[in-house]
Structure 1
Amino acid sequence: MSEPVIASMAEVRSHLADVLERARRDETPTIITRRGKEEAIVIDIHEYQRLRRLADRVEESWLNTRADESESEGVEGSVSLEEMAALLRAHHG
C-alpha cells in the first residue's frame, strides 16, 4: 500500500473517479479533510475487507482470552442470570 494522498472534501468531490481509481488500481488511500481536519479515508474494497477480517480475528482472540481468564478464576462470587434478574427486580421494586 502506498503512502496516502491528502485531499480536501472539495478536491475529492471534484475528482471522485480519480480518487476511487487511485484506491483500486494503485492501492493508494486518500485521506479526506474538511476545514483542515482529517475526516475519512477512501481505500480499496479488498483492503477494507482484509482489515475487517483482521479486526474480527483480533476481537475474537481478545474475547477468548477474557473468557479463559474468567474461567481460570472460577465461579466463586458469581451469580447466575436468574439470580441477577431477581436481584434487579428486588432492587427496583
Structure 2
Amino acid sequence: MIDNPLCSIKLITLSLLHNGFRLLKVGGSLVYSTCSLTLAQNEDVVEHFLKENVNAELAEIDGARNWPCKSGGIPKTWRFDPLTSQTSGFFVAKFTKVAI
C-alpha cells in the first residue's frame, strides 16, 4: 500500500530523470517537463536531482523569454499556468551534462 502517492510519483520521476541523464554524453541536454503545477513534482524534483548529480547544470532555454509563461521557483525553469499561457499548465527545465 502506498502511504503518499505524491512521494511515489516523485521517486518514479527522479528515477526516470536519473536514467535519461545517465545516457547523455558530456555536453548533452535533457529537457524535464511535467503537466503538473505542484512544487513537489517540479522544483522539488529539480533541486533533488541537482544535489545528487554534480555533473548536471540547469541551462537557459532559448526563446523562453518570448513564451507566454512565468519564471519557475528556480532560475532557468519555467511555469505555464492556465491564466498566463492559456494552457492547462506545465513546467519546463533543461539540464546539461558537464564534465567534472
TM over 0.5: no
- Shorter-chain TM-score bucket reads under 0.3
More strand by share: 2
More helix by share: 1
TM-score normalised to the size of structure 1? 0.26
Higher relative contact order (CA 8 A, sep 6+): 2
